[in-house]
Amino acid sequence: MSLTDLMTMAKTDKELRKRIFTKLWRAHPDECFQCMRCTSGCTSLKLLELKPHEIVLLVNSGFIQELVSSDIIWTCASCLKCRERCPQNASPYNTILELRNLAVEREAKIPEAYMKAIAQILETGLTQPEQTATTRDMQPQNREKLGLPKLPYANDKFKTVFMKILGG
């Protein structure tokens, strides 16, 4: 998907731009000078056409709503190369995370797996229940059979606090 197509009818939104910037800490997308080091090493460039420098440019220009409704922000593999290599501390990685947060807040289409993980955290504290493992010769195994201790369990007080912060 090309983001420039989305831009043809778009207007900039300074308020939303400000919101992204306020949430960021020690990341300065506004200092990006488009050297494209992030994009040249991006894990998701080849297969998913993610261009971090373009995301940063669009954020700086205020095209936030367009980014938030685009699938492109969900293609980041979080490999952190862009954050490591950026000479300006723009951190496309952190910028993309804040765009995702905004997408969730605005109820744009978000991958279901994230919500599933959160529902599970509210249940037990962990992102998934204990899975059955299978040996190479197809024998089912679990923690007990393998001699591992019981899983930790986050207490109910935790769930209340977590709910509270999730709700903002």
Partner 1 sequence: MKAAVYWGCKIPTEQYAYEMSTRQVLPRFNIELVDLENVSCCGTPVRSVNTSAALYLSVRNLAIAGQTGLDNLLIPCNECHFMLSEARNRLDNDSEMQTKIQELLNEEGLEYPSNIKIWHTIDLLHDFVNIDTIRGKVRKPLEGLKFAVHPGCQIIRPSEIGRVDHPENPRKLDRLVEALGAQSIDYSEKLDCCGAALLYSHLDAALSLAGTKLRSVQTYGADGFVNTCPYCHTMYDARQKEAAATVGSKLTLSVVYYTQLLGHAIGIDHDKLGLHLNQSFDPERFTRRST
Which CB sits closer to partner 1, 12 or 112?
Answer: 112
74 binds partner 1 (CB under 8 A): yes
Q: How far is the CB of 54 from partner 1 (least distance, A)?
A: 18
> In this structure, which amino acid lies at residue 57?
L
Q: Residue 1 in contact with residue 62, Cβ under 8 Å?
A: no
Which range in 11-19, 29-37, 58-66, 155-163 contacts partner 1 by CB under 8 A? 155-163
In whole angstroms, what is the distance from residue 81 CA to residue 118 CA? 26
Residue 148, token pair as written in the block: 């591992």
Which range in 5-13, 29-37, 41-49, 61-69 contacts partner 1 by CB under 8 A? 41-49
Q: How many residues does the chain have?
A: 168
Q: How far is the CB of 11 from partner 1 (least distance, A)?
A: 27
Q: How far is the CB of 127 from partner 1 (least distance, A)?
A: 4
**CA distances (Å), 143 to each of 117, 120, 165, in order?**
21, 19, 32
In whole angstroms, what is the distance from residue 126 CA to residue 129 CA? 7
Q: Report 75-114 residues binding partner 1 (CB under 8 A).
A: 75-81, 83-84, 97-98, 100-101, 104, 110-111, 113-114
Q: How far is the CB of 2 from partner 1 (least distance, A)?
A: 17
- Picking from 117, 82, 86, the residue whose alpha carbon sits closest to that of residue 97 is 82
Residues ≥6 apart with Cβ < 8 Å to 75: 44, 48, 49, 50
Give the binding site for partner 1 (CB under 8 A): 23, 25-26, 43-44, 47-48, 74-81, 83-84, 97-98, 100-101, 104, 110-111, 113-115, 117-118, 121, 125-131, 133-137, 141, 143, 146-149, 151-155, 157-158, 160-162, 164-166, 168
